[in-house]
Structures are given as structure tokens and as C-alpha cells.
Amino acid sequence: MNRRPGQRNLVAAVGARALGGIAYLGGMALMLAQAGRWLLRGIANPKLRLRRGPLALQMVRVGVRSVGIVSLVQVFIGVILALQMARPLEPWGQVDKIANIIGVAGFRMLGPIITAVVLSGFAGASIAAELGTMVVAEEIEALEAQALSPVRFLVVPRVLATFLMMMLLTIIADWMIALGGYLTSLAVLKPQVYIGYWERMRDQLRVRDFVSGLIMAGVFGLLVSLIGCYEGLRVRGGAEGVGRATTMTVVYSIVGIIVAACIFTVIFYVYRF
Amino acid sequence: MPENVTDHAAPQPVIRVLDVVKRFGGLAVLDGVSLEVYPGETMVIMGGSGCGKSTLLRLMIGSLFPDEGHVQMFGRNLDELDDAGLDALRLRFGILFQSGALFNSMSLGENVALPLAEHTDLDRETIEIMVKIKLEQVGLREAAERMPAQLSGGMKKRAGLARAIALDPEILFYDEPSAGLDPVTSAEIDQLIMDMAGKLGVTSVVVTHEMDSAFRIADRMAMLDAGRIIKVGRRSEFEALRDCPLTGDEETDLVRQFLRGDSEGPITARRLSTGYERDILGGAGF
Ligand SMILES: Nc1ncnc2c1ncn2[C@@H]1O[C@H](COP(=O)(O)OP(=O)(O)OP(=O)(O)O)[C@@H](O)[C@H]1O
Ligand SMILES: [Mg+2]
């Protein structure tokens, strides 16, 4: 072996990073499994049933607070799509296809993905901050010392709420993109864009366009909330740790969302879904 | 009780810490700690800030596990128990955390009601009555509706105690129960600790560095220093040690300095000799 020490350190560092990454994913998978187990146990045993109160509270927290921003952002996405498509389609006399394009792009991808990015802040970062603060205040230890599972009490309602609200918000988001495109064409584009806009969109869209977007939305919701819970629960060392956890939640969430979107797009493409 | 320890009918300790080593990042915070706590007694663990008192407590309640050695509670090794076994044990002790650790999203009453609702089959009215009783025991019955953020430090500690006794535990752990409180409130907390021990007969393990409070509540005391227990004994032994003249033995004088709160002695001498000159003189030393 004639590697220089610097190279060895690099190999070791890359190896350590990779192991750390695998451990991180493993930890999250374990948490998801535990959450799933508690959910199932709750169905079997009424005493362990997930209470409606905490779930509703989390749904309001995640959903109601973010619905305005999600809608606003998605309308703008519709505006951008309509305007950007108008010029390249004009020479081909195909501006009427703007409705078809917005439909597919919005329902399949931009609806879920932009909503998930917004929720990585509204849900993910706020979950991480909240749970991290609870760690610092010894509240998590207090739960465990009372033989109460933090996964059951804290993770399950947050993950479930984010999962459900993510899908609900995505449905709203899809229509907001479409609406943004329609309003833009009404305001600045030619009549052949907005006349018959909704009919063309309806004819273009298949059920699978809508469903594939919803599947992705659900996956994004799980990702964002799991990362938030995981980062929050592993906070160490005071307020500084909480700040770091919120930042990393947003960073990892966005990376996770894009990677997952890519993987799903490949799968849907291959299976022509 | 410690008086009976030598009797033929010596009771089994409820907690036994055996040669425990606990490291954080390679650094041994606890380095061979052994300690026994007997039924019904109040054991006070003392030691300087950051010497590992809370860590020792966390090992005793099974929220951390030792790198070496064992911790036994009710004769069972904590590290051999599975989650269910550990949970069953957790119902038999209560803990008051350093910061109170109330659940901030719940009112005081709900905090106390939570373990009752989750671990018993009592109906809601009974639980409400139990909550009132527990809160009355710590003098907070009037405050049941309040949120933790609206409570003072002393009230939080008392509320934490009410929650800790919700399931009538056999052992109570306290992490710095009187730290950061005024002398009167601190004395009130001490009185509560003694009440719990006296009226309910619980075994108590109290971590503190408030000497007044330690001498008020302890049956036995243990002094933790540099990762080891350097002295265990009855309160009277520690009182004698506090009031005696310097002995010349380093460890004994160290305990004596801590008990008296003197500004000169082995603790300060050690602080001065560890690396201070080296720091100042850039590693040259003398
Ligand atoms: N989870 C942890 N990871 C790394 N180091 C830790 C951890 N918990 C405690 N320590 C370190 O162990 C040492 C002892 O901590 P511990 O909280 O037990 O002290 P303490 O005696 O309770 O102090 P205090 O009187 O301030 O409460 C400290 O130096 C602390 O930094
Ligand atoms: Mg401590």
C-alpha cells in the first residue's frame, strides 16, 4: 500500500460519511416502523388508540397555517408556467396546449413538490424545533421514565397529520396552479388559450396523473415529518442543537423530496403510469 | 434502614450500582461507581457541578446504560430487561427532573392525569379526584388549570413531584430539587421530600449540591468526585466530618471542604494545579 496518509484520511472520511448516512436512514426507517406498529396496536387495542385531539391539533398546525402560503405560491407557479409556455408555443400555433401542459406538470409534479417544500418549513422545521425543545427541557426523558413512548405520543400524530394534510394541500395546490394559468391567460394571453381551457385540461388529464401526484404527496409528507421528528428527537446540547436541527430538517427534507420525486418519476415512467 | 444493615435480617437493597463506568466520547464521567440504596431510606448524592450526578441518576432509572458494570433495581439487572420489562419497572418509580420537565402543551392537571390515564383502568372521575389529591399533596390544587409556562420555578418542581407520585411509586428520584429556588421555597421542597419518605414510606434518591438541604433530608449521604464515590455514610458521619478539624487525608478533607463550602482546600488546590501553569506558560511548566 503506497497511499499517502492524506488519501487514507479521505477514504476514511468518505467511509465514515457513508456509514453515518446509512445509520441516519436506518434510524428513520426504524422510527417509521415503530410509528406503524403503534398505529396498528392502536387499532387492535382501544386503550392505545390514537386520540383524535392530538391528531386534529397537528393537522390544524400543519394544514391550516400553511394553506394560504401554499395557495399563493401555487398560483404564481401557474402564472409562471403559462407565461413561459406562451412564447415557445406561439410559432407552432399551439398556445391552446398551455392548458394541457399546466395540467400535467401541475398535477403530476409541481403541485406535490412545491407543497412539500413549503411544508418542510411549516411542518418539518416546526416539528424539529418543538421536539428539540422538549428534549432540552427533559420532557422526552420524562415521558420515557413514565413508560410512555415518545414515538406513540409525539411521532405518530405528527407523521400522520403531515401525511394527510400533505395530500389534502396537494389537491388544493393542483387547482391553484391551474387557476393561476387560467387567470394569466385571461389577463394577458390570446383567447384561444383561455377559451376551452378547462375542457382541454380535463381531456388531457387521466386519473393516473392525479393519483401519481397524490402518491408522491403522501411520500413527501412522510419524509418531511419523519426527518423533522428524527432531527428533533436527537437534539443534544441546548438551544444551539435545536437551531441546527431545524436547519438540517429543511435541508434534508428538500434533498429527500427531490430524490424521492426522481425515483418515483423513473418508476412511473418505466411502468407507464 | 442503614441501622439494620449488619443485622442477620439485613434487607436487600432496592437499588444496587455495581462498578459502573460511563463514558461520553471516550471520557469516563463515572469511573467505577458502586452504591447501594436500602428500602425506605433517603440517600443524598452530592458532588460538584458536572461531576456526573445526573448521569448516575439516569443510569439508575434505565434511561442510560453503563459501559461497564451493572445497575440493579429490585434485584434485577436493568441492562438485561427488554422494553416491556423496563416499562413495568418504570411504573414502580417516579422521578423529579432538574427542570421539572412538565409537558408544556398540557395544563398542570393534565400532566398529573396522563400517567393515571395511560397506566390504570380508572375512569375519568376517579382520575380527576386522584389528580386533585396529588396536587393537594404538593400544595397546588388551586393551580390545576394553569399551563406550565405560567408557573414559577418552585411551582414547577412541586408540580413535577405531583406527577412523579401519581402512580404511588416505591422509589422517588430527585435531580437537584432545590437548585435555583429561594431558601424558603427550597425548605418547602425539602419538607415535601421528607413527607413523601415519612408518610408514604418511599425510598428516595436525591441528587443535590445544596448542603443545607442535604443535611435536612438525608438518612445516608454519598459524595461523588472525579467519577468515583469517595465517601458513603450516615448523615451523622458527614455532620461529624463537617465539624471536625482538618485531618490531613486528602479525600476526607475534600469532602469536608465540600460540606463546609470553604473557599480553600483540596478542591480548589486541585483546580489550581491542573494545567493552570501549563496553560499560562505555554506548556513549559516549572
Ligand atoms: N449525553 C451526553 N453526551 C455527552 N456528554 C454528556 C452527556 N450527558 C452528560 N455529559 C457530560 O457528563 C458530565 C456530567 O454531566 P452531568 O449532567 O451528569 O453532571 P451533573 O453532576 O449532574 O452536573 P450539574 O450539577 O451541573 O447538574 C458533564 O461534563 C457533561 O458534559
Ligand atoms: Mg445535573
Of A90-99, A216-225, B224-233, B260-269, which has the strongest mean pLDDT? A216-225
Which grid cell sits at B227?
A: 467519577
Note whether B114 contacts A: Cβ–Cβ < 8 A.
yes
Return the residue of A nearest to B165 by Cα: A146
- B-chain CB neighbours of A55 within 8 Å are none
Model confidence at B274, in pLDDT bands (50, 70, 90)? low
Angstrom CA distances, B78 to B36, B60, B65, B89, B181, stand at 15, 8, 8, 9, 33
Minimum-distance ligand 1 atom for the alpha carbon of B55: 18
Q: Which of B27, B30, B33, B51 to mutate to test the pocket of ligand 1 (most atoms within 8 A of CB)?
A: B51
Q: CB of B285 within 8 A of CB of B278?
A: yes
Q: Whose CA is nearest to atom 18 of ligand 1?
A: B52
In this prediction, residues B257-261 reach a mean pLDDT of 85
Determine contact, residues B34/B17, Cβ cutoff 8 Å.
yes
Residue A258, pLDDT > 90, answer: yes
Whether residue B45 contacts residue B222, with contact meaning beta carbons closer than 8 Å, is answered with: yes
Interface contact flag, A137 B101, Cβ < 8 Å: yes
Are A148 and B118 within 8 A, CB to CB?
yes
Q: Does B168 touch chain A (CB under 8 A)?
A: no
CA end-to-end span of chain A, whole Å? 51
The H or E element that residue A151 is part of is none
Ligand 1 in reach of B55 Cβ (< 6 A): yes
B135 touches ligand 1 (CB under 6 Å): no
- Check residue B282 and give its pLDDT: 63
Q: What angle do CA B150, B156, B157 make, to 5 degrees?
A: 170
Ligand closest to Cα of A136 equals 1
Residue A134 contacts B where some CB pair is shorter than 8 Å: yes
Q: Sheet containing B27-37: which strands, arranged edge to edge? A: B27-37, B15-24, B68-73, B76-77
CB contact under 8 A, B58 and A141: yes
Residues of chain A contacting B102 with CB distance shorter than 8 Å: 139, 142
How many Cβ atoms sit within 10 Å of the Cβ of residue B276? 10
**Contact flag A137-B104 (C-beta cutoff 8 Å):** yes
CA distance B132 to B134: 5
Whether A118 and A125 have beta carbons less than 8 Å apart is answered as no
Three-class SS of residue B7?
coil
B119 touches chain A (CB under 8 A): yes
Cβ–Cβ contact A33 with B under 8 A: no
Q: What is the pLDDT of residue B275?
A: 64
pLDDT higher for B260 or B8?
A: B260
Provide the β-strand partners of residue B21: B31, B68
Give the per-residue pLDDT at B183. 86
Nearest to B228 by CA among B48, B79, B58: B48
Distance CA(A17)–CA(B12), nearest Å, equals: 49
Record the pTM.
Answer: 0.85
Quote the ipTM score.
0.82
| B86 → chain A, closest CA residue | A147
Q: How far is it, in rounded angstroms, from Cα A96 to Cα A200? A: 8
- Would you place residue A54 in the very low, low, confident or very high pLDDT band (cuts 50, 70, 90)? confident
Comparison of pLDDT for B1 and B152, the residue scoring more: B152
Nearest-CA residue for atom 29 of ligand 1: B50
- Quick one: pLDDT at residue B277? 61
Please tell me the distance from the alpha carbon of residue A11 to that of residue A2, in angstroms, as a whole number.
14
Confidence of residue B285 (pLDDT cuts 50, 70, 90): very low
CA distance A170 to chain B (A): 29
Say if residue A2's pLDDT is above 60.
Answer: no
Q: What is the mean pLDDT of residues A190-204?
A: 91
Average pLDDT, chain A: 91
- From chain A, pick out residues whose CB is under 8 angstroms from the CB of B98: 138
C-beta atoms surrounding B134 within 10 Å = 25
Tens-place pLDDT, residues A172-189? 999 999 999 999 999 998
pLDDT confidence of residue B226: 85
pLDDT, tens only, A219-234: 999 999 999 999 999 9
pLDDT category at B44 given cuts 50, 70, 90 is: very high
- Give the start-to-end residue ranges of the domains of chain A: 50-270
Tell me which range, A54-63, B35-44, B102-111, B131-140, is most confidently predicted by mean pLDDT.
B35-44
pLDDT the model gives residue B278: 63
pLDDT at A181: 94
Question: Is residue B170 scored above 80 in pLDDT?
Answer: yes
Whether B101 and A141 lie within 8 Å, measured CB to CB: yes
CA distance from start to end of chain B? 52
